[in-house]
Structure 1
Amino acid sequence: MDAFGQFLDSLDGMLGGADWFPYVLLGVGLFFTIYLKFPQIRYFKHACKVVTGKFDKKSHEGDTTHFQALATALSGTVGTGNIGGVALAISIGGPAALFWMWMTAFFGMTTKFVEVTLSHKYRVKTDDGTMAGGPMYYMDRRLNMKWLAVLFAVATVISSFGTGSLPQINNIAQGMESTFGFEPWHTGGVLSILLALVILGGIKRIAAITSRVVPLMAAVYIIGALAVIFYNIENIAPSFAAVFTDAFSGSAAAGGFLGASFAYAFNRGVNRGLFSNEAGQGSAPIAHASAKADEPVSEGMVSILEPFIDTIIICTLTGLVILSSGVWTEKFETQFERSSMVILQGQYSEDNEQDRLALYKYLNDEKDHGVELFNGELHSIQGKAVEKEFTIIHSRSIAEDVRFGLTEKHVYTGTIEIKDGMPVDKDIMITGKSLVHSAELTTKAFSRGFFGENGKYIVSIGLLLFAFSTAIAWSYYGDRAMIYLLGSKSVMPYRVFYVAGFFWASFADTTLVWKLAAVAIVVMTLPNLFGIFLLRKEMKESVTEYWDKFNKEHPNEK
C-alpha cells in the first residue's frame, strides 16, 4: 500500500500537482472568457432571473427545476473544500493563495457555463425515464470519442468515492468525535442510513433535499463567519491588502509562517480553487443535465452562479475569517501528520535570517537551499529527544516543544530510526506546537469571534452539512456515470456499494483514497477541457441562437 501510495503521489505530481496544470485550467477559462466576451459578467443578471424559474414552461423536459439543479450541483461543490481547502491553501501559500482561488472562480464561471451547456445539449433519457448527461455524452455523441468518454466516466466513479463519499464521512466523523465525543462508527452508522434513504430515491429526492439543505447550511456558515470578521474588523483592510499585494510576489514570512513564493501560492491557490468549485472538472454538468429546459444555454446561464456562490462568496468568507483572526501565523499544540511533516538535519531557528531563507527555499522547491533530510537515530527519554541537531518542520513551520509517544498519554523511551526525514516506525506519535492547517485551522479561526469557543460548533455543524450534502450529490454523479458504462441495472448495486463505503470510511484511514481521487479529478478535468475547447465554435453558435430565440419570445426583457 505504501508503494501504491507513493506511485499515486508521483502521478499526481506529474498531473494536478505539476506546474503546467494551473496554466491549462486558467488558460481554458481565460480563452472562453475572451472568446464569448465575458459571459460571467454580461449574463449574470439574466442567470439570476433564469434560476428563479421566471422563464420556465411545464412542457420542458427534465427531472428538476433550475434552482434544484443548481442546489444539487452546489451541494457537490460546497463541502470540505470551503472549510478545510481554503485553510489548507492559505496555510501553504499565504494570503496570495486566496487571490488565485478568486481567479480560478472568475474564469471558472465561464468554463462552467460552457461545460454545462454542452453536457445539457447532448443528454439522453434513460430506461427509467430520468435524464442522464455529462461530458461523457458529448464526448461520445458529438465528438465520437467513446474511449475518452469511458475514461471520463470511470474517473467519475472513482472520484465519487474519493471526493464525495469516503473522505467526506471521514471528516465528519473526526469532527463529531473531537467536538462532541461521538464514536466515529456511530456517526457513520446514522449518516449511512440517512444517505441511503436519500439517494435510493433518485434525483428527485436528492434535489428536494439539497434545495433545502444548501440554503440552510450557507446561512449558518455565513452568520458564523461574519461574527468573526466583524469582531476583527480592524484587520479586514490589511487582510485584503495582503491578498492583492502578495498575489504576484508571494507571501513573506509572518509569525510562524515561513513564507511562500509566487509559484507555490499560484499552484496551490488554483488547485484548491478547482477542488472547491470544480469548474472544468465536468462533475456539475451531470447535475445540471437533469434540469427542465428546452434550451441548454439557459441551464448554462444558471451554472455561472455556482463558482460565484461557492468560491467568491463562501471561500472568501472563510479566507477573511482565517486572515483577520491571525491564527494562520500562530502555533498551536497539535499532533503532527506524516503528510505535513519532515525531520531535517541541523538545528534551525526562526530568529536566524539565514535559517529562514534556507527553509524558505527548501519549502518552495527552490535550488541551493542547503537543507538536508535527517537520516539516522534519535534517542527519546520520556518523550524528549536527547539529540539537539535536528529540526522538525510541520505545516510549513518550525515545530516547538516536540514530544514522542505511542499514544497521547504514553510518552516514548527508546530509539527512533529516521530515514529520509521520516520515522520508520509509523506507530510513533509526534506532538508539539506548530502551525495547523485544513479544518483545524478554520476551527481555530472561528473561535476568535463574538461566539468565542462556541464558534467551533459552527464549523462542526457546517462541516457536517457541507460534507454530507457533497456525498449526496456525488452519489448521483457516480450513478449517471455507471448508467453510461453499464446501463441502468448497474445503478442499484453502485448505490449499495457507495453507502457501504461511506460507513466504512467513518472509522478507516482514507489517505490512499484521497490520493487516488486527486489523480481521478485530473483525469476528469483534462479530457473535459480538451472536449469543450474542440466544441468552441458550436458553443458560440449556441449562445447566438439562444439570444435570437429569447429576444423574439421575450421582446421586453433585456
Structure 2
Amino acid sequence: METLDAIVSKINAFAWGPPMLILLVGTGFWLTINLRGLQFTKLGHALYLALVKRREEGDEPGDITHFQALMTALAATVGTGNIAGVATAIAIGGPGALFWMWITGLVGMATKYAEAILAVKYREVDANGEMCGGPMYYISKGLNMPWLGTVFAVFASVAAFGIGNMVQANSVADAVEATFHVPFWATGAVLMVLSAIVILGGIKSIAKVTSLLVPVMIVFYVISACYIIFSNIAEVPAALMFIVKQAFNPTAAVGGFAGATIMMAIRFGVARGVFSNESGLGSAPIAAAAAQTKHPTTQALVSMTQTFIDTIVVCTMTGLVLILTGTWSNGQTGAELTTTAFQAGMPGGAYIVTIGIILFAYSTILGWCYYGEKSIEYLFGVKSVLPYRVVFVIFIGVGAVAKLSLVWNISDTLNGLMAIPNLIGLIMLTPVVVSETKKYFDNK
C-alpha cells in the first residue's frame, strides 16, 4: 500500500506540478491572444447575459437556461478551494499568491469561454432527449480522436468521486463536528439524503436547486467578507499594494519568512487558482452543453463569467479578509486559517465559515455528480447513469466518515490529468473557437 501511495504521489506531483500549471496558464494566454482579449472587452455584455437576461428568448435547443447552466458550473467550482485553498496559497506562498490567482483567473476566462463554445457546438442529444457535451465530445468529433475523448471521460468519471464527492463530504463533516459537535456519521447520513433527493432527479433538478442555492451562498459569503473589508476600508488600498508587492518580493507565513520565493508565490497562486475555478480542466463545459441556446458564443460568454465570479470576486474576498485581519501570518493554514480570520473580523465569524463550507461543499457535490454521470454515459450509454448516481450517493456517506487518503490522491491525480486531453483539444480547435466568435459578432 505504501508503494502504491508513493507511486500515486509522484504522478500527482506531475499532474499538478509546474509543467502542467504552465500549460494551463499558457493555454489561457494563447486563447486570450487569439480572441483579442475578449474576456476584457466583452465582460460587461457577458455579465448582462448571465445575471440580467439569464435566458434566450424563444424555444432554443437545450435542457436548462443560461443562468441555470452557469449556476450548475459555479456550484461545482465555488467550493472549499475558495475558503481553504486561498488560505493555503497565502500561508505558503505569501499574500502575493493572490495576485497570481488573479492572473490565472483573468486568462482562465478565455479558456472557459473556449471550452463552452466547443461544448455547445459539438453537443449531441442522447436517448433520453437530453443534451450531452463536453471535452469527450469535442475531442472525439472536432479532432476525430474518440480514443482521447474516452481517456478524458474515464478520468472525469472517477475523479468525480474524490474532488467532487468524498473530499467535500469529509470537509463538511469535519467543519460541522468542530463547530456544532455533530458526529461524522450523522452529517454523512444527512448529506446522502439531501444529495439523493436532488441528484436522482437529473440535470433539471440539479439546475433548479443550484440556481436557488448558489446565488444565496455566494451573496451570504461575500456580504460577510465585505463587512470585514468595509470595517477596515482605510487599509484596503495598502492591502492591495501589499499583495502586488508581495507577488514579486514574497513573504511566506508557513515555514519561516525567509523561505518564500517568487516561484512559490506563483506556484501556489496558480495551482490554487486553477483548482478553484477549474479553467482548462474540462469539467464546466459539460454543464454549458446543456444550456438552451441557439449560438455557442452566447453560452460561452455566460460561462466565462464563472471564472470571474469564482476567482476575481470570491477568492479576492477571502484573501482580503486574511490580510486585513492580520491573521495570514499566524502559522495556520487551510480552512482553520480562514475561520480564525473571520472570527477576528466579525462576531460569529467562525459560524460564517462553517456555514460557507457546508453550502459550498454541498453544491460542489451536486455539480460534480452531473459531470461524472455525463462522462459515464459517454462510456457506457444512458442505462449506466442511474447506477452511477446511486453509487455516487453512497460514496458521500463513505467520504464523510473515512479519511481515504489513497483514494483522494488518486482522484486528485485524475482530476489534474483531465486537463491533458482537454488542453490538446482547446489548442488544436482554436481556429474553430475564433471562427464561431467572429461569426457571432459579425452578425450582431
Aligned to 1:440: 336
Deviation at 1:129, TM superposition (A): 0.8
Aligned to 1:45: 44
Q: Structure 1 pair 253/289, CA: closer, same or farther in 2 (3 Å)?
A: closer
Write out aligned runs for 1:498-513 (5 A): 498-513=392-407
Q: Deviations over 1:73-121 (max 9, x none)?
A: 0000000000001011111101111111100100000000001100111
CA contact (8 A) 1:256 1:329 kept: no
Write out aligned runs for 1:100-115 (5 A): 100-115=100-115
Q: Distance in 2 between matches of 1:15 and 1:496?
A: 29
Deviation at 1:464, TM superposition (A): 0.3
Aligned to 1:320: 320
Q: Distance in 2 between matches of 1:528 and 1:81?
A: 21
Give the aligned residue type for 1:215. P
Q: Distance in 1 between matches of 2:379 and 2:263?
A: 39
- Identify the match of residue 450 of structure 1 among 342, 346, 354: 346
Give the aligned residue type for 2:46. A
Q: Secondary structure at the match of 2:247?
A: coil
Q: Deviations over 1:334-369 (max 9, x none)?
A: xxxxxxxxxxxxxxxxxxxxxxxxxxxxxxxxxxxx
Structure with higher RCO (Cα < 8 A, 6+ apart): 2
Aligned pair 1:150/2:130, yes or no? no
Q: Secondary structure at the match of 1:57?
A: coil
CA contact (8 A) 2:91 2:254 kept: no
Query: Max radius of gyration: which structure?
Result: 1
Q: Distance in 2 between matches of 1:266 and 1:310?
A: 19
Write out aligned runs for 1:136-147 (5 A): 136-147=136-147
Q: Deviations over 1:510-547 (max 9, x none)?
A: 32233112211221112111111101111111111112
Aligned pair 1:21/2:17, yes or no? no
Identity of matched residues, %: 44
Aligned to 1:193: 193
Deviation at 1:26, TM superposition (A): 1.2
Aligned to 2:431: 537
Give the aligned residue type for 1:439. A
Write out aligned runs for 1:198-347 (5 A): 198-251=198-251, 257-330=257-330
Aligned pair 1:463/2:357, yes or no? yes
Aligned to 1:430: none
- Listed as ranges, the gaps of 5+ residues in structure 1 are 331-434, 552-558
Aligned to 2:32: 33
- Identify the match of residue 416 of structure 2 among 512, 522, 529: 522
Q: Distance in 2 between matches of 1:513 and 1:216?
A: 32
Deviation at 1:14, TM superposition (A): 2.3
Aligned pair 1:484/2:378, yes or no? yes
Q: Structure 1 pair 271/253, CA: closer, same or farther in 2 (3 Å)?
A: closer
Aligned to 1:182: 182
Q: Deviations over 1:462-502 (max 9, x none)?
A: 10000000000000000000110000000011011100000
Q: Secondary structure at the match of 1:291?
A: coil
Aligned to 1:76: 76
Q: Distance in 1 between matches of 2:61 and 2:15?
A: 38
Q: Distance in 2 between matches of 1:128 and 1:510?
A: 35
Give the aligned residue type for 2:427. F
CA contact (8 A) 1:170 1:510 kept: no
Q: Distance in 2 between matches of 1:194 and 1:445?
A: 30
Q: Distance in 2 between matches of 1:192 and 1:29?
A: 37
Give the aligned residue type for 1:535. L
Deviation at 1:249, TM superposition (A): 3.0
Q: Deviations over 1:22-58 (max 9, x none)?
A: 2211111111111110010111122123223377133
The alignment yields a C-alpha RMSD, in angstroms, of 1.5
Q: Secondary structure at the match of 2:418?
A: helix
Give the aligned residue type for 1:107. V
Q: Structure 1 pair 256/263, CA: closer, same or farther in 2 (3 Å)?
A: closer
Q: Distance in 2 between matches of 1:40 and 1:30?
A: 11
Q: Deviations over 1:142-169 (max 9, x none)?
A: 2111111111001101221111100001
CA contact (8 A) 1:99 1:244 kept: yes
Aligned to 1:350: none
- TM-score between both structures, scaled by the size of structure 1: 0.77
- TM-score between both structures, scaled by the size of structure 2: 0.97
Q: Secondary structure at the match of 1:448?
A: helix
Q: Deviations over 1:181-218 (max 9, x none)?
A: 00011011011001001000000010000000001101
Q: Secondary structure at the match of 1:312?
A: helix
Give the aligned residue type for 2:152. F
Q: Distance in 1 between matches of 2:197 and 2:7?
A: 37
Q: Structure 1 pair 80/444, CA: closer, same or farther in 2 (3 Å)?
A: same
Q: Distance in 2 between matches of 1:142 and 1:222?
A: 39
Q: Distance in 2 between matches of 1:143 and 1:279?
A: 20
* Structure showing the higher strand proportion among its residues: 1
Aligned pair 1:127/2:127, yes or no? yes
Q: Structure 1 pair 7/329, CA: closer, same or farther in 2 (3 Å)?
A: same
CA contact (8 A) 2:28 2:107 kept: yes
Q: Secondary structure at the match of 1:60?
A: coil
Q: Distance in 2 between matches of 1:325 and 1:504?
A: 36
CA contact (8 A) 2:93 2:252 kept: no
Q: Structure 1 pair 223/57, CA: closer, same or farther in 2 (3 Å)?
A: closer
**How many residues of Structure 1 are paired with residues of Structure 2 in the alignment?**
443
* Structure showing the higher helix proportion among its residues: 2
- Listed as ranges, the gaps of 5+ residues in structure 2 are none
CA contact (8 A) 1:283 1:477 kept: yes
Q: Secondary structure at the match of 2:400?
A: coil
Q: Structure 1 pair 507/255, CA: closer, same or farther in 2 (3 Å)?
A: closer
Q: Distance in 1 between matches of 2:198 and 2:317?
A: 30
